[in-house]
Amino acid sequence: MEKRIKILIAKPGLDGHNRGAKALTLGLRELGFDVIYSGLRQDPEQIVEKDIEKKVDVSGLSLLSGAHKSLVPRVVELARQKGLDKVLIIGGGTIPEEDIPFLKERGIAEIFGPGSTIEEIAGYIRKYV
């Protein structure tokens, strides 16, 4: 039997909007992934600890608050400090196009913005995990 890819969908920061994260969680589950949803208002330390505790393959960060330039790099930094070099860290939400290169330079693998499909995200995960 093939191991199912395990994903954490996390909501870093004070963002209280989680409809997209919940839809993504359910959609990825339907496509055969093992998906955990962190809940709202997680700090970077909580996210990385949950990545470790749940032994995830992918950490997906959903941000709508505008704090992506501080929160995303901090999650990546902590994950690498804790030895999670093989965890694929991706992001999504309302992140301006001009900020994507900044985030990729700091270690996020990919950003999926509004209009990205669950199938597109699943395909990316399957390709890179």
Between CA 62 and CA 15 the distance in angstroms is: 9
User: For residues 91 and 13, which has the higher predicted lDDT (pLDDT)?
Assistant: 91
Q: Is 38 helix (H, G, I), strand (E, B) or coil?
A: coil
Contacts of 64 (CB under 8 A, 6+ apart): 15, 17, 20, 93, 94
Q: Which amino acid is at 54?
A: K
Q: Mean of the pLDDT values across residues 111-128?
A: 96
The label of the residue with tokens 């030895």 reads: 83
Domains of the chain, residue spans: 6-128
Between CA 79 and CA 27 the distance in angstroms is: 25
> Which architecture characterizes domain 6-128 according to CATH?
3-Layer(aba) Sandwich (3.40)
What confidence tens digit (pLDDT) does each residue in 39-76 have?
A: 899 999 999 999 999 999 999 999 988 899 999 999 99
**The token pair that represents 56 in the structure block:** 């995830």
CA-based nearest residue to 108, from 54, 82, 71: 71
- At residue 1 the predicted structure's pLDDT band, cuts being 50, 70 and 90, is low
